[in-house]
Chain A
Amino acid sequence: MMSKLRAFTMPKWGIEMTEGVLAEWLVAEGEAFAKGQVIAAIETDKIVNEVEADYDAVCLRLIAKPETEHVVGALLAVFGEAGVGAAEIDKFIGEFSGNAVDDLSASEPAGNSVEEMAVEQAVAEVVTQPDSEQTTVAPEVLEIPEGVRISSKAAELAQTSGVDLTELSGSGNRGRILVQDVEQAVRGGGLFSGNGAAVDNSFTADAEVLERITPIAFKVAENAGLDWSQLAGSGKNQRIRLRDLPITEVVEQEPEFDLGLTAGETKTIPFSRMRGHVADRLTRSQNEIPHYFLEIDVDANQLVSARAEYNKQASAHATVNDVVLLAVARCLARHQQVNINVIDDEIKYFADVNLAIAVSIDDGLITPVIKQADSLNLAELSSEARRLIDGARASTLSLADYGKGTFTVSNLGMHGIKRFTSIINPPQAAILSVGQIRRAIQESSAGPVFGWRMSLTMACDHRAIDGTIGTSMLASIKSQLEAPQQLFA
């Protein structure tokens, strides 16, 4: 049943009413009224309405004063049974927990404050906008050709970079030139065409498989020979995504070098004979030889396709490194000034090209030598290189295999290294560092194209090899590799 005291609150009329004015009380304190009797007049900005009582009661306390404004739900009066004491009415008023706080000056409900702050912020930004417009005055010097629409920032950039606006097509609304259009003009971006290399675009997998792994991750994993079946997925429904594949973590799974140390422990091991030897030679080289470095990019598109074709035709397994070795060997034959040893104050020239290859082994680095490398064809060189590399790692090479090298090639491309420099291996006077063959955008007459690219870095001993000589050698290697048909003959 209803309690004996009842709140009479500011009613809500219509959809938008938030407050109203109590215009007039039509009932007095202590007066009894009947359901349907008009008890008050309430006014909103839209209407004045008489309020009928919803029940029979006695008016016990009029709280709101006539002609005062109150929010919807505010306590205006207390009605109830006759004879209720003042203390009880006070208590009722004190405990009244209507939805509204009747203080029109108070801030809005907390729920709105965040939105309001955002709005205020936005307004503030709009207000400050004209200022920033004024500070970025359109460049006065740059003439904007007639009919060209351009943003002021883009115009500024065009001016500083000297881009011809008449040549530019804009990507903005109705051809308006934007900053990105000018940037592209500066960087030489444009329509792209490819290089004709073979593309493997096949893809098939079962729906059940693809519920557990995205097709992109699946193909990458398959190509890498990765077992993904036990991996935890971070995608929707724990689906395995590209980022979940342990592509870079494979190396870290098992420590490559393990002394079985526990936390806090250290252990000192003297250099092995080989490490001492390597340390000594490289330190001397670094300290005594005035190194300089030359770097060049090689367009490897033909190299990639010709090698693939060669391996297919000859059922061979020539590596990119084999082809590079052969190119270097043939160039050394033509650049005798690089195919040398430097001993004390003398330069020693060689009839033979004895090409050293840097091979990393368990405890150091060794450089077995391909003798008379320039006289070999690709198949011969490839098998000799394979024999030396395998032999070095298995410690089965003889002393003869380490003979007097005249030049060294070091290749870290297969490990994903883009480019690097090496320390000359004395008494030799130069060493070539071979980087990864990678996908890159290249210039071409038809505009930028995608293609394979490789970076070569050659370190030279300036005492014996001048910059022009080194440059000429490196340029020869580049042209050999970019037109590699002879290498595969």
Chain B
Amino acid sequence: MNKQDLDRVYRRMKTIREFEERLHLEIQTGDIAGFTHLYSGQEASAVGVCDALTVDDTIVSTHRGHGHCIAKGCDPQGMMLEIYGRADGLCKGKGGSMHIADFNVGMLGANGIVGGGPPLAVGAAIAAKLDGKQRVSVAFGGDGSSNQGTVFEAMNLAVVLDAPAIFVFENNGYGEHTGASYAVGADDLRARCEGFGMLALAADGNDFFAVQETMDQALNHARGGKGPVALELHTQRYMGHFEGDPQRYRAKGEVAKARETVDCLLQFRAHKKASKLSEKEFDAIDAEVLQLIDDITKVAQNAEPPHPDELHTDVYVNY
């Protein structure tokens, strides 16, 4: 990767981090309504996967979708406005945190239903295959969604149809407030995916370069017409299941330790493959990102809510 590439991916990861950390603070003021699920800690996974995609490739995301949105190229300002429920949000304030989408960049939507996305990704992959343009569709999910019947159905159908779908399981160890070691019956999620008859890979989700390498392998396979791929990425979640989760189920100091030892941003800065960027340059990116997040937050805080008439629009194309 050249310097420009390194700047891009680090900036994306840092943007996700600061976006989420800022939301974590702002939510406590009560200004942001509803449920918000933050992605802090998992940035290398979203950016590692999405940076390998083209704008024509599509992704479907989860309730913890802000990271995937930013990684796929959604405008952070539009997202922040959406999360604040503003008229100029990416979805006019009608979707909110759990339903951010921007089809212009191939982001087919976060999803409030665990396991809701993978069938849609298979459909997108079928469309891609018909169009014959080697596009792929990625379904993000977690260890929690890996137990849903819809996901099983989607994986099987993708295998049956040789659909260029990539099922990414971000295993952060928790499905909501329950441990994966309890809820995922198989000892090895990757191996379970393999059991569906598809290429299944695993990687350290905290290491951007490891994710990137694995993703390249997956893309070669899927774009080469060899059918779907599953990816298990081991990572961790710095925040609760949702904002306001007191997280009494976590070990004392667990998150603090993770932040110190396996943090994807720290690892990236220290990685030899990123040595083309100096500490000073990294710091400069950090400062720019912080400024950006501060700016977009203030804009969102002062923006107008949707007009009441918007309640009734966009239900149908025509009715």
Are chains A and B native binding partners rather than an unrelated pairing? yes
| Chain B positions within 8 Å of A13 at CB level | 244-246
* Interface hit among B28-36, B87-95, B195-203, B305-313: B28-36
Which residues of chain B come closer than 8 Å to A451, judged between CB atoms? none
Whether A9 pairs with B30 at a CB distance below 8 angstroms is: yes
Contact check, A98 vs B256: say whether CB atoms are below 8 A apart: no
Residues of B with C-beta under 8 A to A100:
30
The answer to whether A2 has its CB under 8 Å from any CB of chain B is yes
Digit string of B19-35 for contact with A (CB within 8 Å is 1, else 0)? Answer: 00000110011110000
* A12 with B28: CB separation less than 8 A: yes
* Cα separation A72 to B248 with both chains bound (whole Å): 19
Does A246 have its Cβ within 8 Å of any Cβ on chain B? no
The reply to whether A47 and B248 contact each other, CB–CB distance below 8 Å, is: yes
Q: Does B294 belong to the interface (CB within 8 Å)?
A: yes
Closest to B287 in A: A1
Closest residue on chain A to residue B33 by CB atoms? A99
With the chains together, A294 CA to B295 CA distance in Å? Answer: 91
Q: Does A444 contact B (CB under 8 A)?
A: no
- Chain A nearest CB from B104 CB (Å) reads 31
Residues of A within 8 A of B243 (CB): 12
A190→B106 CA distance, assembly (Å) = 65
**Beta-carbon contact of B245 and A54 below 8 Å:** no
Closest Cβ neighbor of A100 among chain B residues: B30
> Are the CB atoms of B29 and A7 closer together than 8 Å?
yes
Contact B29 A14 (CB under 8 A): no
Q: Name the residue on A nearest B35 (C-beta).
A: A15
* A36 to B256 CA separation, bound complex (whole angstroms): 8
How far is B30's CA from A13's CA once the two chains are assembled, in angstroms?
12
A residues less than 8 Å from B29 (CB atoms): 7, 9, 73, 98-99
In the complex, are the beta carbons of A11 and B28 less than 8 A apart?
yes
Q: Are B30 and A1 in contact (CB under 8 A)?
A: no
Q: Mark A1-22, 1 if CB is under 8 A from B, else 0.
A: 1100001010111110100000
Complex CA distance for A348 and B68, rounded to whole angstroms: 108
CB-contact partner of B244 in A2, A12, A55, under 8 A: A12
Question: What residues on B are CB-neighbors of A2 within 8 Å?
Answer: 294
Complex partner residue of A99 from B30, B246, B256, CB under 8 angstroms: B30
CA distance A49 to B30 in the complex (A): 19
Do A14 and B246 touch across chains, with their CB atoms under 8 A apart? yes
Task: Chain A residues near B31: list those with CB within 8 A.
Answer: 99
Any A CB within 8 A of the CB of B291: yes
A17 to B25, CA, bound (A): 18
| Distance in Å: Cβ of A86 to nearest Cβ of chain B | 23
B262 at the A interface (CB under 8 A): no
Would you call A11 and B244 a contact (CB within 8 A)? yes
For A98, list chain B residues within 8 Å (CB). 29-30
Q: Within residues 243 to 260 of chain B, which ones have a CB less than 8 A from any CB in chain A?
A: 243-246, 248, 256
Total cross-chain contacts (CB, 8 A) = 40
Contact B246 A49 (CB under 8 A): yes
B277 CB–A CB distance under 8 Å: no
Q: For residue A52, which residue of chain B has the nearest CB?
A: B256
One of B24, B244, B294 near A54 (C-beta < 8 A): B24
Which of A36, A47, A49, A54 has a CB less than 8 Å from the CB of B25?
A54
Main secondary structure of the interface of B (DSSP, over half): loop
- Residue numbers in A under 8 Å from B25 (CB-CB): 54-55
| A239, chain B: closest CB distance, angstroms | 14
Residues of A within 8 A of B24 (CB): 54
Contact with B along A323-348 (1 / 0, CB 8 A): 00000000000000000000000000
Query: For the complex, what is the distance from the CA of A15 to the CA of B244, rounded to whole Å?
Result: 8
- Residue B290 at the chain A interface, CB threshold 8 Å: yes
- 1/0 contact trace for B289-300 toward A, CB 8 Å? 011001000000
A1 touches B294 (CB 8 A): yes
- Interface residues in B261-319 by Cβ distance below 8 A to A read 290-291, 294
Name the B residues within 8 Å of A1 (CB-CB). 290-291, 294
Contacts of B245 in A (CB 8 A): 13-14
- Which residues B80-135 have CB closer than 8 A to chain A? none
Considering the chains assembled together, what is the distance between the CA atoms of A11 and B256 in angstroms? 20
Chain B residue at smallest Cβ distance from A13? B246
Chain B proximity mask over A168-186: 1 for CB below 8 Å, otherwise 0: 0000000000000000000
Q: How far, in angstroms, from A403 to B85 measured CA to CA in the complex? A: 89
Do A17 and B248 have beta carbons less than 8 Å apart?
no
Q: Which of A55-110 contact B (CB under 8 A)?
A: 55, 72-73, 98-100
Q: Which of A16-45 contact B (CB under 8 A)?
A: 17, 36
- CA distance in complex: A232, B25 (Å): 57
A54 CA to B24 CA in the complex, in Å?
Answer: 9
A11 neighbours in B (Cβ, 8 Å): 28, 244
A467 to B25, CA, bound (A): 97
- Give the complex CA separation of A17 and B28 in angstroms: 13
Closest beta carbon of chain B to A39's beta carbon, Å: 13
**B90 CB → nearest A CB, Å:** 23
User: How far apart are the CA atoms of A17 and B244 in the complex, in Å?
Assistant: 9
Give Cα distance in the complex from A36 to B290, angstroms.
20
Residue of B nearest to A74 (CB): B30
Closest chain A residue to B294, Cβ basis: A1
Q: How many whole Å from B294's CB to the nearest CB in chain A? A: 6
Contacting residues, chain B, for A72 (C-beta < 8 A): 30
Of residues 8 through 44 on chain B, the ones whose CB sits less than 8 Å from some CB of chain A are 24-25, 28-31
Residues of B with C-beta under 8 A to A9: 28-30
> Could you tell me which residues of chain B, from 119 to 161, have a CB within 8 Å of some CB in chain A?
none
Chain A proximity of B260: nearest CB distance (Å): 10
- Per CB-CB distance, the 7 closest pairs between chain A and chain B, nearest first, are A99-B30, A73-B30, A13-B246, A12-B244, A49-B246, A13-B244, A98-B29
Instruction: Point out residues on A near B: beta carbons under 8 Å.
Output: 1-2, 7, 9, 11-15, 17, 36, 47, 49, 54-55, 72-73, 98-100
Can you name 11 A-B pairs with beta carbons within 8 Å? A1-B294, A9-B28, A11-B244, A12-B30, A12-B244, A13-B244, A14-B246, A15-B244, A47-B246, A73-B30, A98-B30
Given contact pairs A47-B248, A49-B246, A100-B30, a sample of 16 additional A-B residue pairs in the complex whose CB atoms are under 8 Å apart: A1-B290, A1-B294, A7-B29, A11-B28, A12-B28, A12-B243, A13-B245, A14-B244, A14-B245, A17-B244, A36-B256, A47-B246, A98-B29, A99-B29, A99-B30, A99-B31
